[in-house]
Structure 1
Amino acid sequence: MTTSAYKMLQVDTNKALFTIFTGLCKGCGLCMQKCPVKTLEWSDALGVYGTPAVQPRNAEECTGCGMCSIVCPDCAIVIERKKKA
């Protein structure tokens, strides 16, 4: 996991590059509810309203389906699937 000055958390797994812009997250939890493998949890990082942002609990469990990024109303999650070799 890496972070930057842009309040961003990036996780590179074997299936996808998972980016959470914690500065955009308002902590609604929709991504956590819709994740089919329940790989997201609350983090210590604070989002835009001072509420907890999300982070991957075990990033390797992420299937890269992108459901979290689809349901996020603030575009705080970006999933870039990797091509199979």
Structure 2
Amino acid sequence: MAKVNWESAKYESSKGQWAIFPQLCKGCGLCIEKCPVKCISWSEELGVYGTPRVKADMEKCIVCGICQMVCPDCAIRVEKKK
């Protein structure tokens, strides 16, 4: 069984940074559905309600921020490198 990790998970690439806050993620999947490059998937770790949280594949991520905009719980933060 997967465990709940309350620390934010950060993923980085040369394009920017993507972070998930598991204490806020309820596992609704809107970010997975709306990602234009399909770089977000379910994680082995759990979110706030014991549901799977998400993770990002930074090799594919274009750091567009759509996932951050559609997340109803502000559980995702995206920062593009300047």
TM-score by length of 2: 0.89
Q: Give the C-alpha shift of residue 6 in structure 1.
A: 4.3
Please give the alpha-carbon distance, in whole angstroms, between the structure 2 residues aligned to 1:33 and 1:7.
24
Would you say how many aligned residue pairs link Structure 1 and Structure 2?
78
Equivalent residues of 1:23, 1:46 under 8 A apart: no
Post-superposition CA distance 1:40-69 (Å, at most 9, x none): 11001111110000001x212100000000
Amino acid corresponding to residue 35 of structure 1 in structure 2:
C
Amino acid corresponding to residue 77 of structure 1 in structure 2:
I
- Percent identity at matched positions? 53
Amino acid corresponding to residue 16 of structure 1 in structure 2:
G
CA RMSD of aligned residues (A): 1.1
**Any runs of at least 4 consecutive aligned residues in structure 1 with deviations exceeding 6 A, and if so which?**
none
1:20 aligns with 2:20: yes
Residue aligning to 1:66:
65
Q: Give the C-alpha shift of residue 7 in structure 1.
A: 2.1
Residue aligning to 2:32:
32
Q: 5+ residue gaps in structure 1?
A: none
Residue aligning to 2:43:
43
Please give the alpha-carbon distance, in whole angstroms, between the structure 1 residues aligned to 2:45 and 2:6.
12
Amino acid corresponding to residue 43 of structure 2 in structure 1:
S
